[in-house]
């Protein structure tokens, strides 16, 4: 009897999960496993936690939902805590598994963890099989080798759209043969060292983790409200649930795949018509792909202060009081402050807000951009290593931007995108908006 471990990471779904499907087709039984990696909850060299409470909560909800979905297919999720390079081999030994299947990583730390696990598995004569499962276009289908991918997005997009095809999705398995798996005992936020998350009733959306919630959000945005047909005009908005898709948090943890979104988008277009807005979502998902491919191409250079351009940025000696005022939304610039408060109190900020808040830190305060990226890493509910560090480097002027200085004139941005101060008034008023805490 051939038994394999499926090691879930940021692919917390059963639909369109090639890793799971391949493990099922090549083995008699599989053991779905998630390891709560202790390093993900440590403090980084920049002084922030790698994961903050909003994402921790979202992760636990996603694991709960994945277990439920796996159980409906006859299996369940085995949840471990510790170091993957210790915990995954232990499970392999316990179940005498001969293979481990997992998502393929591209970023520096994640890749190192993957390699450490692989090294330990080799000692047990167990092989690690990995699959690229998080992009719209598969890396192998691109019209360039990774090292030749253009460093300018438009060049990448045009050629890719012209010459590559998007693969179809992997259907959800019908049944998962597994040994009996006890329901997981997920840690509470306080066990992970966090206070309970408080819901601010001004939050654009109540993000709840898991594939089931991701599907609900997609159906709401596409077929329920048809908001997708207006996306191109509304996507720069800042107030409310439906100015943009809000798919990011579910995409970041892999509760939904970009190819599944694409498949549903095509269904929607057949039924209700295609327009510039429906296309624009593909355009944005291509940005997401792009930062992942850039990470694969440039690796640890994506995290350097001088970035992939090896460009020295003129920064000032760190003034931590100033940095704190930025984090706390107390710089005195009302547009930046409103955005930073939204991030602090909800774990989310619009794309327009992120661009302005990042530009302000890099170009107005002349702060080392990596501190901003590290704070976002802690704080964002939708943190994705490639999208976060890639966008930050881009805005700091050391990344993939062909323009030499992407400076945002914040006053102009505020009057263009928040003309009637609706957004600023929402976040800068003084009364307490936090409501009940959730368990």
Ligand X SMILES: Cc1cc2nc3c(=O)[nH]c(=O)nc-3n(C[C@H](O)[C@H](O)[C@H](O)COP(=O)(O)OP(=O)(O)OC[C@H]3O[C@@H](n4cnc5c(N)ncnc54)[C@H](O)[C@@H]3O)c2cc1C
* Site residues, ligand X (CB under 6 A): 235, 244-248, 251-252, 281, 284-285, 287-288, 291, 350-351, 354-355, 358, 376, 380, 382-384, 387-388, 391-392, 395
> 79 pairs with which residues across the strands?
34
CB of residue 107 to ligand X, shortest distance in Å: 12
- Is there a binding annotation on residue 247? yes
244 is in an annotated binding site: yes
CB of 271 to ligand X, least distance (A): 20
Residue number with CB closer to ligand X (75 or 400):
400
- What count of Cα atoms within 13 Å lies in the side-chain half-sphere of residue 75? 25
HEC string for 146-169: HHHCCCCHHHHHHHHHHHCCCCCC
Whole-number Cα distances in Å, 189 to 198, 207, 294, 311: 12, 16, 34, 40
> Quick one: 14 or 255, whose CB is closer to ligand X?
255
231 is in an annotated binding site: yes
- Cβ 421 to ligand X shortest distance, Å: 21
The string of DSSP codes covering 18-79 is HHHHHHHHH-SEEEEEEEEEGGGGSB-TTSSBSS-HHHHHHHHHHHHHHHHHHHHTT---EE
Shortest distance, position 354 Cβ to ligand X, whole Å:
4
Residue closer to ligand X, measured from CB, 32 or 399: 399
Judged by beta carbon, residue 86 or residue 241, the one nearer ligand X is 241
Query: Which of 293, 225, 217 lies closest to 261, judged by CA?
Result: 217
384 assigned binding-site residue: yes
119: three-class secondary structure by DSSP: helix
CB nearer ligand X, residue 82 or residue 150:
150
Long-range contacts of 275-283 (CB under 8 A, 24+ apart): 275/229, 275/232, 276/232, 277/228, 277/229, 277/230, 277/231, 277/232, 277/233, 278/228, 278/229, 278/231, 280/231, 280/232, 280/235, 281/228, 281/231, 281/245, 282/136, 283/157
Q: Give the nearer residue to ligand X in terms of CB position, either 317 or 403.
A: 403
Write down the number of H helices and E strands in the chain. 17, 7
d(CA 248, CA 244): 10
81 in a known ligand binding site? no
Q: How far is the CB of 6 from ligand X (least distance, A)?
A: 24
CB of 116 to ligand X, least distance (A): 24
Report whether 248 belongs to an annotated binding site.
yes
- Tell me whether residue 118 or residue 263 sits nearer to ligand X (CB atom): 263
Min dist. Cβ of residue 274 to ligand X (A): 17
Q: What is the rounded CA–CA span in Å between residue 172 and residue 223?
A: 21
Annotated binding site for FAD: 231, 244-248, 382-384
Annotated binding site: 231, 244-248, 382-384
């Amino acid at each position: 009897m051939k038994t394999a471990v499926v090691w879930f990471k940021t692919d917390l779904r059963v639909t369109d999960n090639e890793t799971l499907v391949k493990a099922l087709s090549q083995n008699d039984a599989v053991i779905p496993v998630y390891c709560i990696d202790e390093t993900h909850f440590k403090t980084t060299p920049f002084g922030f936690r790698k994961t903050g409470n909003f994402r921790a909560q979202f992760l636990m909800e996603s694991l709960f939902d994945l277990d439920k979905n796996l159980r409906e297919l006859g299996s369940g999720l085995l949840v471990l805590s510790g170091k993957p390079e210790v915990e995954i081999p232990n499970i392999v030994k316990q179940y005498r598994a001969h293979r481990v299947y997992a998502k393929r990583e591209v970023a520096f730390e994640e890749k190192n963890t993957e390699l450490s696990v692989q090294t330990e598995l080799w000692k047990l004569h167990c092989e690690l099989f990995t699959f690229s499962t998080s992009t719209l276009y598969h890396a192998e289908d691109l019209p360039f080798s990774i090292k030749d991918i253009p460093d300018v997005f438009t060049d990448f997009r045009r050629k890719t759209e012209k010459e590559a095809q998007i693969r179809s999705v992997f259907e959800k398995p019908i049944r998962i043969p597994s040994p009996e798996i006890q329901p997981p005992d997920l840690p509470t936020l306080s066990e992970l060292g966090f206070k309970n998350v408080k819901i601010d009733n001004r939050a654009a959306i109540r993000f709840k983790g898991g594939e089931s919630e991701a599907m609900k959000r997609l159906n709401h945005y596409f077929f329920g409200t048809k908001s997708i047909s207006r996306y191109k005009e509304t996507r720069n908005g800042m107030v409310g649930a439906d100015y943009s898709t809000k798919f990011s948090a579910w995409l970041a943890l892999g509760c939904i795949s970009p190819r599944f979104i694409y498949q549903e988008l095509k269904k929607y277009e057949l039924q209700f018509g295609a327009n510039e807005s429906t296309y624009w979502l593909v355009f944005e998902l291509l940005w997401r792909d792009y930062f992942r491919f850039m990470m694969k191409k440039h690796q640890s250079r994506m995290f350097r202060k001088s970035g992939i351009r090896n460009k020295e940025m003129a920064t000032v000696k760190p003034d931590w009081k100033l940095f704190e005022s930025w984090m706390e939304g107390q710089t005195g610039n009302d547009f930046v402050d409103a955005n930073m408060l939204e991030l602090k109190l909800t774990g989310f900020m619009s794309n327009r807000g992120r661009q302005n808040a990042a530009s302000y830190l890099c170009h107005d305060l002349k702060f080392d951009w990596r501190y901003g990226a590290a704070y976002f890493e802690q704080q964002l509910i939708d943190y994705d290593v490639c999208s976060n560090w890639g966008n930050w480097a881009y805005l700091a002027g050391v990344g993939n931007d062909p323009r030499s200085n992407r400076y945002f004139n914040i006053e102009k941005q505020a009057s263009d995108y928040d003309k009637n101060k609706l957004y600023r008034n929402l976040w800068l008023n003084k009364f307490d908006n936090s409501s009940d805490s959730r368990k």
